[in-house]
Amino acid sequence: MSETAGGISPADDQTRQPTTARRKGGLKTMPFIISNESLEKVASVGLQANMTFYLKKQYHLTNSAAANVLFLWGALSNFTPIVGAFAADSYFGRFRVIVVGTLVTVSVPKILATKLLNHPNGIPNKHRMGIGLLISCLATAVAGAVEHRRRWTAATGRIMSANWLIPQHCLTGLGEAFSIIGQIEFYYSQFPPSMRSVAMALVSLGLGAGNLAGSLIVSVVDDITSWVGNDLNRGHYDYYYWLLAVLSVGNFFYYLVCSWAYGSDDRKLWDAVEVGSGDDDEAGREMKIVV
Within a domain: 6: no
**Using one digit for the tens of pLDDT, what is the confidence trace for 89-108?**
777 776 776 767 666 655 55
| pLDDT at site 3 | 47
Within a domain: 21: no
**Using one digit for the tens of pLDDT, what is the confidence trace for 130-166?**
999 999 999 999 999 999 999 999 988 888 888 888 8
Helix axes 166-190, 125-155, angle to 10 degrees: 160
In which band, very low, low, confident or very high, does the pLDDT at 254 lie, cut at 50, 70 and 90? Answer: very high
pLDDT of 236 higher than 80:
yes
Within a domain: 199: yes
Is the CB of residue 132 less than 8 Å from the CB of residue 180? yes
Within a domain: 149: yes
Which of the pair, 251 or 176, is modelled with greater confidence? 251
Within a domain: 279: yes
Residue 102 CA to residue 93 CA, distance in Å, equals 15
Can you spell out the DSSP letters for 222-265? HHH-STT-S-TTTS-HHHHHHHHHHHHHHHHHHHHHHHHHH--T
In which band, very low, low, confident or very high, does the pLDDT at 276 lie, cut at 50, 70 and 90? Answer: very low
E strand or H helix that includes residue 290: strand 285-290
Within a domain: 99: yes
Which among 76, 54, 80, 52 is positioned nearest to 64, based on CA atoms? Answer: 52
Residue 25 CA to residue 254 CA, distance in Å, equals 34
Overall number of domains in the chain: 1
Per-residue pLDDT, averaged over 80-84, amounts to: 74
Within a domain: 70: yes
Lowest mean pLDDT among 72-86, 158-172, 177-191: 72-86
Can you spell out the DSSP letters for 102-165? HHHHTTHHHHHHHH---STTSS-HHHHHHHHHHHHHHHHHHHHHHHHHHHHHHHTT----GGGG
In terms of residue numbers, what domain contains 156?
Answer: 47-116+118-290
Residue 107 CA to residue 88 CA, distance in Å, equals 21
pLDDT of 30 higher than 70:
no
| pLDDT at site 142 | 94
Which domain CATH number covers 66?
1.20.1250
**Residue 88, burial from CB neighbour count under 10 angstroms (0-12, 13-18, 19+):** buried
Within a domain: 34: no
Which of the pair, 224 or 192, is modelled with greater confidence? 224
Which of the pair, 61 or 110, is modelled with greater confidence? 61
Which of the pair, 280 or 173, is modelled with greater confidence? 173
pLDDT of 1 higher than 70:
no
